[in-house]
């Protein structure tokens, strides 16, 4: 899946973030009757089906329309369905069903949730005070329920509305609306094959008549949805905060009777892989209460939860410590150092301490804080050093929100570290790994004299969402120094722009010995390299000579766009090449791909040569790519659209090339970026 929730949770623990005055932002709003082919009149519950990458939306009142038609089109409103499977942007419909309780005349699904533990769908009915369990499989979905359980207990009143799953326990959480507003927790009893009441917590006085409920997959917090706002509670039921709907001001959108809620990936398939949205349904006018105003106004709102960060007792530079190094020396493991805007000369040695070194960008998300907070290495050996050779592997600091410049190495590291929202410029090597690794995310590397990122030793790294431009030598250089295992080093380069490299965009340098490394190169735009987009060499040679070395390490190259390189890919004896776009190779598109390598479906265009016979190059799509030159995003009518493979068999296993939520349409697109109707 395309998210890194566990990594985000660990990051927030390191910097002791607490949520204060958080906010919700409207990403998009869709009228589910007029703007979606689903034609949902009164959207009630909503749930995310992660196995399919889609939303299920329940319509609690559509069956009440009977033979009524849409006055605008004459279309029959109720066509025998009250549950709809749609894409995250509601532009595509993937299924329609009728959830039918024992009394079909009372078919009013209110809340709905897909349970990842058993694959069933659970639906609440506020009239019958029950939870119904339905089958949800390709061969059989919905129809009559498999089982049901009462939500009322001890003769107490309940009004079951929204329903969700606690991912930590598998419990069902039901929000009860009028009279006694509370959240009810039900746990599965395997012997009785039903869910039994476990506990509850009240949502009053914070909300009135809640309709929806969702659980945040990172924090585990419970969000309840009502007409007067959205309230956040801890898993145990302690109130955290309430969001009103002021974020709708000026948008032209109003929430008429907000209903269900669920957290799911962003509707934009090109968004960051761990981007989360809160999806809220809107029922519109209550047709039961106002039958003469029977309206077709169901809606789906996509919201983004923005955490406003604060730090508890950071060490402040320069108000408390005149230099960053002084703050590092005074800090204890786990501390956070907050650096105000300014230029700070000299090298910084973080040693083996696990610290968070952050600028004000961490608190404000203001990009100007990055350019205004400069760590200047003054022409020394490094700007920042991470790790102590005598205590290797004991720390993992976070470096967040700086301009790092003017030294031999921007960062030299023997321990893992995480680098986020930084610019690294005017160094020899932007990052010089001598071991360790970590995560590099949302950073920009430009005008570095040698390599932007240089991996030596036993280094495992994830580099994503970065701009790596105008490197004097290679964008990313990896020396395959001996590493026999037993651990396998995973090197993942994804969703980056690598442009204008003086030699190779990515260069893999073999040392004539097999190592325990795996490479996954995915979703990148690798363009305008002076020599090779991805080049492989042997014999410790770092001067690209178009050798196309048959390196035996596993290299997976999928969903990338290559443009205007001398050669796009050279070498590899265990390489998978699929769903890529290769355009404008000045010599050949590919060279020397051999051994157990497999070339699947790829688009080739205007390369001086392909680099082999067509039957050696797999499923060749030879056509003008049809993309926006500035971004390389495909146009709607591009041959890249819907032309990719979902999976491929290679070296004895089936490889998933895209998950369902990563693409729109019937199949993934070729290349790095997905066509999407919401793209500007």
Sketch out the chain's domains with CATH numbers: 1-18+333-449 (2.160.20.10), 20-306 (2.120.10.30), 475-680 (no CATH)
Judge whether 109 and 99 are in contact, CB under 8 Å: yes
Q: Is the pLDDT of residue 602 over 90?
A: yes
pLDDT at 389 (0 to 100):
72
DSSP string, 346-413: S-EE-TT---EEEETHHHH--THHHHHEEEEEEEEEEEEEE--GGGTTS---EEES-EEEEEEEEEEE
Provide the pLDDT confidence category of residue 103 given band limits of 50, 70 and 90. low
**CA–CA distances in Å: residue 215 to residues 48, 218, 224, 225, 639:** 11, 9, 9, 11, 40
Closest CA to 89 of 37, 164, 45, 141: 37
CA distance linking residue 506 with residue 542, whole number of Å = 12
Q: What's the whole-number mean pLDDT along residues 452-458?
A: 97
Q: Tens digits of per-residue pLDDT, 352-368?
A: 999 999 999 999 999 99
Q: How far apart are CA 356 and CA 335, in angstroms?
A: 6
The yes-or-no verdict on residue 5 having pLDDT over 80 is: no
Instruction: Using the structure block, give the residue that is written with the tokens 């997905």.
Output: 674
141 CB-near residues (< 8 Å, 6+ apart): 95, 97, 121, 134, 135
Q: Given the DSSP bridges, would you call strands 598-599 and 575-578 parallel, antiparallel or unpaired? A: parallel
pLDDT digits (tens, 9 = 90+) for 124-161: 988 888 899 999 987 788 988 999 988 987 778 889 99
| pLDDT at residue 553 greater than cutoff 80 | yes
pLDDT category of residue 179 using cuts at 50, 70 and 90: confident
Nearest-angstrom CA–CA distance, 420 and 440 = 6
The answer to whether residues 570 and 532 touch, using CB atoms and an 8 Å cutoff, is yes
The per-residue pLDDT for 285 is 66
Q: Does 514 have pLDDT greater than 90?
A: yes
Q: According to the model, what pLDDT value does residue 63 have?
A: 79
Closest CA to 26 of 302, 307, 306: 302
Q: What is the mean pLDDT of residues 400-407?
A: 98
Pairwise CA distance, residues 599 & 591, whole Å? 12
**pLDDT at residue 1 is higher than 60:** no
Query: What is the pLDDT confidence band of residue 66, given thresholds at 50, 70 and 90?
Result: confident
Give the whole-angstrom CA distance, residue 135 versus residue 315: 55
Q: For the residues 66-80, what does the mean pLDDT come to?
A: 86
Q: Do residues 400 and 421 touch, judged by C-beta distance below 8 A?
A: yes
Q: Is the peptide bond before 612 cis (omega within 30 degrees of 0)?
A: no
Residue 9 has pLDDT above 80, yes or no: no
Please, what's the b/e burial string for 396-413 (b: 16 or more CB within 10 A of its CB; e: otherwise)?
bbbbbbbbbbbbbbbbbb
At residue 146's C-alpha, the angle toward residues 141 and 148, to 5°, is 125
Between 16 and 596, the more confident residue is 596
b or e along 62-88 (b: 16 or more beta carbons within 10 Å of the residue's beta carbon)?
bbbbeeeeeeeeeeebbeebbbbbbbb
- CA 21 to chain centroid, in Å, comes to 24
- The Cα 601–Cα 657 span in angstroms is 11
* DSSP secondary structure, 462-486, as one string: EEES-EEE--SS-SEEEE------S
pLDDT at 17: 47
- Cα–Cα nearest to 206, from 164, 241, 179: 241
What pairs with residue 216 in β-bridges?
none
Q: Which of 176-185, 283-292, 649-658 has the lowest mean pLDDT?
A: 283-292
- C-alpha dihedral, 151 to 153 to 157 to 158, nearest 10°: -20
- As a residue count, the chain comes to 680
């Amino acid at each position: 899946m395309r998210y890194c929730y566990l990594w985000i949770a660990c990051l927030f623990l390191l910097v002791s973030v607490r949520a204060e005055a958080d906010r919700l932002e409207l990403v998009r709003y869709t009228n589910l009757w007029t703007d979606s082919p689903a034609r949902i009149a009164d959207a009630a519950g909503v749930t995310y089906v992660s196995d399919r990458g889609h939303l299920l939306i329940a319509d609690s009142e559509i069956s009440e329309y009977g033979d009524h038609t849409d006055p605008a089109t004459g279309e029959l409103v109720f066509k025998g369905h009250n549950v709809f499977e749609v894409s995250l942007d509601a532009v595509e419909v993937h299924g329609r069903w009728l959830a039918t309780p024992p009394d079909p005349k009372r078919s009013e699904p209110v809340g709905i949730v897909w349970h990842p533990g058993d694959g069933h769908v659970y639906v609440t009915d506020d009239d019958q005070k029950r939870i119904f369990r339905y089958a949800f499989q390709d061969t059989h979905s919905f129809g009559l329920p498999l089982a049901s359980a009462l939500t009322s207990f001890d003769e107490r009143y309940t009004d079951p509305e929204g329903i969700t799953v606690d991912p930590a326990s598998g419990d069902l959480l039901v929000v009860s609306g009028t009279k006694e507003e509370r959240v009810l927790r039900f746990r599965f009893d395997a012997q009785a094959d039903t869910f039994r009441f476990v506990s509850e917590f009240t949502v009053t006085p914070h909300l009135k008549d809640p309709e929806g409920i969702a659980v945040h997959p990172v924090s585990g917090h419970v969000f309840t949805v009502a007409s007067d706002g959205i309230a956040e509670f801890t898993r145990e039921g302690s109130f955290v905060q309430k969001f009103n709907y002021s974020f709708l001001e000026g948008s032209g959108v109003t929430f008429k009777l907000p209903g269900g809620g669920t957290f799911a990936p962003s509707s934009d398939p090109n968004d960051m892989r761990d981007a989360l949205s809160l999806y809220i349904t809107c029922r519109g006018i209550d047709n039961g209460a106002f039958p003469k105003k029977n309206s077709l106004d169901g809606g789906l709102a996509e919201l983004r939860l923005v955490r406003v960060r604060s730090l508890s007792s950071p060490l402040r530079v320069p108000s408390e410590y005149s230099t960053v190094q002084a703050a590092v020396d005074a800090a204890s493991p786990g501390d956070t150092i907050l650096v105000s805007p300014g230029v700070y000369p000299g090298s910084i040695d973080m040693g083996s301490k696990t610290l968070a070194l952050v600028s004000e960008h961490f608190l404000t998300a203001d990009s100007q804080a990055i350019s205004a907070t400069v760590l200047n290495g003054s022409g020394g050996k490094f700007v920042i050093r991470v790790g102590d050779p005598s205590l290797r592997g004991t720390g993992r600091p976070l470096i967040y929100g700086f301009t790092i410049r003017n030294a031999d190495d921007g960062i030299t590291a023997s321990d893992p570290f995480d680098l986020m929202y930084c610019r690294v410029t005017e160094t020899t090597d932007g990052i010089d790994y001598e071991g360790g690794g970590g995560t590099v995310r949302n950073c920009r590397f430009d005008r570095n004299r040698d390599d932007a990122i240089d991996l030596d030793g036993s280094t495992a790294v994830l580099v994503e969402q970065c701009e790596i431009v105008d490197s004097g030598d290679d964008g990313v250089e990896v020396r395959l120094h001996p590493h026999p295992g037993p651990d396998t080093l995973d090197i993942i380069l994804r969703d980056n722009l690598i442009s204008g490299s003086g030699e190779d965009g990515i260069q893999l340098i073999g040392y004539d010995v097999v190592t325990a490394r795996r490479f996954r190169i995915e979703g990148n735009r690798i363009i305008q390299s002076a020599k090779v987009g991805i080049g492989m060499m042997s014999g410790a040679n770092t001067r690209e000579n178009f050798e196309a070395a048959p390196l035996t390490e596993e290299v997976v190259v999928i969903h990338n766009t290559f443009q205007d390189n001398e050669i796009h890919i050279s070498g590899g004896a265990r390489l998978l090449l699929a769903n890529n776009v290769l355009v404008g190779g000045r010599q050949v598109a590919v060279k020397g791909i051999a051994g157990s390598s497999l070339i699947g479906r790829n688009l080739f265009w205007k390369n001086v040569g392909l680099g082999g016979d067509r039957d050696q190059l797999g499923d060749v799509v030879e056509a003008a790519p049809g993309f926006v030159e500035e971004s390389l995003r495909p146009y709607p009518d591009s041959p890249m659209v819907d032309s990719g493979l979902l999976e491929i068999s290679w070296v004895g296993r089936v490889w998933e090339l895209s998950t369902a939520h990563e693409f729109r349409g019937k199949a993934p697109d070729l290349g790095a970026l997905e066509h999407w109707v919401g793209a500007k």
